[in-house]
Amino acid sequence: MKIGYRKPSIKKSVKARTTGRAKRTVKKAVVPGYGKKGMGWVKDPKRAAYNKVYNKTTRSVYNNKGCGCLIFLIASVTMFTAFMILL
């Protein structure tokens, strides 16, 4: 089990943001348990337990509550390096 920061994936991030409202609406109409809270425990309890532990023990690089310092540090180093190259 991973502990710490999750490695960001641009491909998965774009896919999650571009899944349309129409697709979710159709799935909700066709699949009885789609989108209902707690249905993961009914459908696949082993996977739901794994995901619960994984999400508690890892952190996102983007959505850190109170710890945006990592992103700020990376941006600062990148800007500093670009500045030094220009000189």
Q: Where are the domains of the chain?
A: 4-86
* pTM (predicted TM-score): 0.54
pLDDT at residue 71 above 80?
Answer: no
pLDDT of amino acid 83: 78
Alpha helices in 6-44 (DSSP H): 10-18, 21-30, 39-43
User: How confident is the model over 26-65, as pLDDT tens digits?
Assistant: 988 998 888 888 888 988 999 999 999 988 888 777 766 6
Q: Given the structure tokens 């619960």, which residue do they identify?
A: 52
Least reliable range by pLDDT among 10-19, 22-31, 60-69, 73-82 = 60-69
Of 81, 47, 48, 75, nearest to 61 by C-alpha is 75
Q: What is the mean pLDDT of the chain?
A: 81
